[in-house]
Structure 1
Amino acid sequence: FAKLWDIAGVRPLADGSRRLEGLARHGIRFVRADIAAIDPDRLVVETSAGALSAEGIVIALGAGHRPEHVALLGPGAHNLYDARELPAIRAALEDLSGGRLLVSILGAPYLCPPAPFEAALLLNERLGGAAEVVVTTPQPLTLPVAGPDASRFLAERLTEQGVAVLTGRQVEAIDCEAGVARFADGETLDWRVMLAVPAAAPPPVLACSPLAGPSGWIQPDRHSFATTAERVYAVGDCTMVPTATAQLPKAGVFAEAAGTVAAANLAADLRGGERVAFDGHGFCFLELPGRRVATVTGDFYAEPKPDVRLAPGDEASFAAKQEWERERLAAWLG
Structure 2
Amino acid sequence: MAHVLVLGGGFGGLAAAHELRRRLPPTDEVTVVAMSDRFFVGFAKLWDVAGLRPLLDGTRPLERLRRRGIRFLQAEITSIDPAARQVETTAGTLSADGIIVALGATYQPTSAALLENGAFNLYHAEALPGIRAALEELTEGTLLVSILGAPYLCPPAPFEATLLLEERLRKEARRERVNVVVSTPAPLTLPVAGADASRYLADRLTERGVTVLTEHAVETIDRETQTVQFEGGDSLEWQLLLAVPAAAPPPVVTKSPLAGPSGWIEPDRHTFATHTDRVYAVGDCTLIPTSTAQLPKAGVFAEAAGKISAANLAADLYGGDHITFDGYGFCFLELPGKQVATVTGDFYAEPRPDVRLTPPDEASFRAKQQWEQERLTAWLG
With normalisation by structure 2, the TM-score equals: 0.86
Identity, in percent, stands at 70
Question: Which secondary structure does the structure 2 equivalent of 1:134 belong to?
Answer: strand
For residues 231 and 150 of structure 1, the distance between their equivalents in structure 2, rounded to whole angstroms, comes to 38
For residues 164 and 303 of structure 1, the distance between their equivalents in structure 2, rounded to whole angstroms, comes to 33
For residues 6 and 30 of structure 1, the distance between their equivalents in structure 2, rounded to whole angstroms, comes to 27
Counterparts of 1:244-283 in structure 2 under 5 Å? 244-283=291-330
- Structure 2 counterpart of 1:89, from 103, 121, 131: 131
For residues 165 and 326 of structure 1, the distance between their equivalents in structure 2, rounded to whole angstroms, comes to 33
* Corresponding residue of 1:117: 159
Question: Are 1:46 and 2:88 matched, yes or no?
Answer: yes
* Corresponding residue of 1:151: 198
- Structure 2 counterpart of 1:284, from 312, 331, 341: 331
Residue identity matched to 2:119: A
Measure how far apart 1:73 and its partner are.
2.5
Structure 1 unaligned blocks of 5 or more: none
Measure how far apart 1:214 and its partner are.
2.0
* Corresponding residue of 2:38: none
* Corresponding residue of 2:254: 207
With normalisation by structure 1, the TM-score equals: 0.98
Structure 2 unaligned blocks of 5 or more: 1-42
Measure how far apart 1:54 and its partner are.
0.7
Q: Are the aligned partners of 1:70 and 1:79 in contact in 2 as well (CA < 8 Å)?
A: no
Question: Are 1:295 and 2:337 matched, yes or no?
Answer: no
Residue identity matched to 1:329: L
Residue identity matched to 1:9: G
- Structure 1 counterpart of 2:59, from 17, 22, 36: 17
Q: Are the aligned partners of 1:76 and 1:92 in contact in 2 as well (CA < 8 Å)?
A: no
Question: Which secondary structure does the structure 2 equivalent of 1:71 belong to?
Answer: helix
For residues 84 and 101 of structure 1, the distance between their equivalents in structure 2, rounded to whole angstroms, comes to 20
Residue identity matched to 1:213: G
For residues 60 and 250 of structure 2, the distance between their equivalents in structure 1, rounded to whole angstroms, comes to 23
Question: Are 1:223 and 2:265 matched, yes or no?
Answer: no
1:300-325 deviations in Å (ceiling 9; x for gaps)? 00011110111111100000000000
Cα root mean square deviation, aligned: 0.9
For residues 212 and 311 of structure 1, the distance between their equivalents in structure 2, rounded to whole angstroms, comes to 37
Task: Decide which moves more: 85-94 or 205-214.
Answer: 205-214
Counterparts of 1:68-217 in structure 2 under 5 Å? 68-74=110-116, 76-128=118-170, 129=175, 130-217=177-264
Task: Decide which moves more: 268-277 or 68-77.
Answer: 68-77
Task: Decide which moves more: 206-215 or 114-123.
Answer: 206-215
Q: Are the aligned partners of 1:171 and 1:184 in contact in 2 as well (CA < 8 Å)?
A: yes
Question: Are 1:238 and 2:280 matched, yes or no?
Answer: no
Question: Which secondary structure does the structure 2 equivalent of 1:186 belong to?
Answer: coil
Off by >4 Å, runs of 4+ in structure 1: none
Q: Are the aligned partners of 2:117 and 2:221 in contact in 1 as well (CA < 8 Å)?
A: no
* Corresponding residue of 1:33: 75
Matched length: 334
Q: Are the aligned partners of 1:38 and 1:209 in contact in 2 as well (CA < 8 Å)?
A: yes
Question: Which secondary structure does the structure 1 equivalent of 2:127 belong to?
Answer: helix
Q: Are the aligned partners of 2:114 and 2:220 in contact in 1 as well (CA < 8 Å)?
A: yes
Residue identity matched to 1:297: T
1:263-309 deviations in Å (ceiling 9; x for gaps)? 00000000111111000000000000000000000000001111011
